[in-house]
């Protein structure tokens, strides 16, 4: 009888050796530094956006030009010369044309075809039209906001009024406050009153009208002092009491009286030209 071949026992697999974790030394209180270049290899596309793209340059230029128009740093009737503006705002002529067209659609720039672009002129009639639209939107907005507002909305209104009241008190006492800062707090309070209205379309339309109204405020440079401060206080009280009718009456007086003074200043300036 032939002998059967001996079979070797199967080897047991060796257990996998645990990977050794080597801690990276780090200085106390400082995050680990990232080494290596963020530049993409050739033939690959970087997932890191470049710091200065044409889109961001154009958007920054748009915001600067828009702010200069609204804040009256670019005077009414000023002709926007592309070559000079290109140097001042650090962008291309093509980008300027695009942003001027964008501003023209917002009513903040006048497009004159082959003659180029210019800052809109001002008039008391245009001011009254803008003020009437502001009053219509804001009266509707505060009624809706007073009905919908919660305790967080009340907090926003109180906080915005507190800052505005402090600024108005310091100005009434003879302290100097940059007009842009004062107007910023003024509009922040009025926006807070409307902020619970529940309509994004209303708020966006209101913001657009308010920028045009703000340009007239910056040009006329009217400060109504304690009278305006008292009206703001009444608006605060009406908001906390949810008395939209009182708020609407106060707001109407607030806007109408301001428009009378601004229109007088604009007409006087026009007569002196």
114/128 same-domain check: no
Domain membership of residue 1 (yes or no) is no
The more confident residue out of 89 and 165 is 165
The pLDDT, as a whole number, for residue 30 is 35
Confidence of residue 36 (pLDDT cuts 50, 70, 90): very low
pLDDT digits (tens, 9 = 90+) for 197-217: 999 999 999 999 999 999 999
143/253 same-domain check: yes
* Contact assessment for residue 220 and residue 243, using Cβ atoms and an 8 Å cutoff: no
pLDDT at 225 over 60: yes
Q: Which helix or strand (DSSP H or E) is residue 117 part of?
A: strand 117-118
Domain membership of residue 144 (yes or no) is yes
142/79 same-domain check: no
Domain membership of residue 174 (yes or no) is yes
In the chain, pLDDT over 70 holds for what percent of residues?
Answer: 78
The more confident residue out of 16 and 255 is 255
191/177 same-domain check: yes
Query: Which of 91, 118, 145 marks a domain boundary?
Result: 118
Query: Which of 101, 118, 135 marks a domain boundary?
Result: 118
Round to whole Å and give the CA distance between 191 and 138.
Answer: 9
Round to whole Å and give the CA distance between 25 and 94.
Answer: 52
Domain membership of residue 214 (yes or no) is yes
- Whole-Å CA distances, 102 to 37, 111, 133, 185, 258: 38, 10, 22, 27, 30
Confidence of residue 237 (pLDDT cuts 50, 70, 90): very high
Residue 105 dihedral angles phi and psi, to the nearest 5°: -65, -20
Q: Which residue is it, tokens 């680990």? A: 32
Neighbours of 177 (CB within 10 A): 14
The pLDDT, as a whole number, for residue 24 is 36
Q: Which residue is it, tokens 């302290």? A: 175
Mean pLDDT of the chain: 82
Domain range for residue 102?
A: 54-118
- Is the whole model's pTM more than 0.95, yes or no? no
Domain membership of residue 35 (yes or no) is no
Residue 160 burial (C-beta neighbours within 10 Å; 0-12, 13-18, 19+): buried
238/199 same-domain check: yes
CATH number at residue 111: 1.10.10.10
The pLDDT, as a whole number, for residue 22 is 36
At 168 the three-state DSSP class reads: helix
Confidence of residue 173 (pLDDT cuts 50, 70, 90): confident
The pLDDT, as a whole number, for residue 25 is 37
Lowest mean pLDDT among 57-71, 120-134, 224-238: 57-71
Domain membership of residue 27 (yes or no) is no
The total number of structural domains that make up the chain = 2
């Amino acid at each position: 009888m032939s002998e059967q071949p001996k079979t070797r026992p199967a080897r047991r697999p060796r257990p996998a050796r645990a990977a050794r974790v080597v801690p990276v030394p780090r200085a106390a209180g400082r995050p680990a530094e990232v080494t290596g270049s963020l530049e993409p290899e050739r033939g690959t596309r970087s997932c890191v956006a470049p710091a200065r793209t044409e889109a961001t340059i154009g958007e920054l230029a748009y915001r600067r030009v828009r702010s200069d128009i609204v804040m009256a740093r670019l005077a009414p009737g000023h002709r926007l010369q592309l070559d000079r503006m290109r140097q001042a705002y650090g962008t291309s002529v093509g980008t300027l044309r695009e942003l001027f067209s964008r501003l023209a659609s917002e009513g903040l720039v006048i497009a004159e075809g082959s003659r180029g672009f210019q800052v809109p002129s001002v008039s008391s009639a245009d001011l009254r039209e803008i003020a009437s639209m502001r009053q219509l939107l804001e009266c509707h907005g505060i009624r809706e906001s007073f009905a919908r507002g919660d305790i967080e909305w009340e907090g926003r209104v109180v906080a915005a009024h507190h800052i505005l009241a402090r600024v108005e008190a310091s100005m009434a006492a003879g302290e100097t406050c940059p007009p842009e800062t004062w107007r910023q707090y003024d509009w922040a309070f009025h926006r807070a009153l409307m902020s619970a209205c529940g309509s994004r379309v209303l708020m966006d339309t209101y913001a657009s009208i308010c920028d045009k109204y703000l340009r007239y405020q910056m040009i006329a440079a009217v400060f109504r002092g304690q009278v305006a401060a008292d009206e703001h206080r009444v608006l605060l009280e009406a908001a906390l009491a949810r008395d939209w009718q009182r708020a609407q009456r106060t707001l109407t007086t607030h806007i109408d009286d301001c428009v009378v003074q601004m229109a007088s200043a604009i007409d006087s300036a026009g007569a002196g030209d």
